[in-house]
Structure 1
Amino acid sequence: MSLGLTNQISIKYIFVIVFFLNACANKNECQCLEGDEDLIIQKYSAKKENVQICYVNQGTFGRVIDLKICDKNSNLLIEKITLRGEDYRPTIDSIINSTVYVHYSYPRNEMENKIEILKFEDVVLGDALLDKKKLKYKYVFHNRKQK
């Protein structure tokens, strides 16, 4: 009998350890690379979320942008998407409910208006592009013409 009880206690301890390690891993993912402040493009704070936009060096392939949304209270990662960032950087404009508004400033002569909508598929890379139905937030991308 005591062997069964020992196994149950061991399993509970293992579960607690795995849960703790997973929580710590998610918390660490909310940070850009520490000590490299030049890799942080923007920090944005909304009502419930903290957002960081970070450069990620892809070696030969150049740089991409990680947009990380974290819970403001627990600092746990809620969602991370990868964006294009070769030449121009995105900027968070606002978060309203579960919609994130982001803009780029691509120079385009043919822009009649000062703002144009960018397609999700033209900006997002990686897993978020493959299955955007799994995303917790809706992303709206604009291009703002430089003055």
Structure 2
Amino acid sequence: MEHPKNTICLWFNGGADEAARFYAETFPESSVSGILRAPGDFPAGKKGDVLTVQFTLLGIPCLGLNGGPAFTHNEAFSFQVATHNQAETDRYWNAIIGNGGQESACGWCRDKWGISWQITPVVLTEAIADPDPASALRAFEAMMEMGKIDIAAIEAARRG
């Protein structure tokens, strides 16, 4: 097993292996590289249960830990995924929502394990950073009304 210098550890109340497989199937540069089973009983499981799953998500080393119900995810941590067109935006958004996730606002959604995602078209980031303050504000205000980001609507708002 490879041991990266820095790894994001995500705490799951079970299902870390299912989540890692879903991420690997959904996102490029993603794969599951190792599963560690518990050598003995632990508070959230029994000997032989999946304890951790080593995976890469969009090129980022991650570890899923089946730690039990003590901690839950919230929006203080999210994965921000830059997308380059509406089809890519729709694909990721629909994969997360269609697999038991929940929609939120401004390009945010949450997967069925509680991990928050920002599906963020590059067009949106560029529009909000527009050097013309009026254009940036129009794009920002349009975004504030959206769940999944509509690139054409952001571009239209930016143009005025």
Q: State the TM bucket, normalised to the shorter chain.
A: under 0.3
User: Larger C-alpha radius of gyration, 1 or 2?
Assistant: 1
More strand by percentage: 1
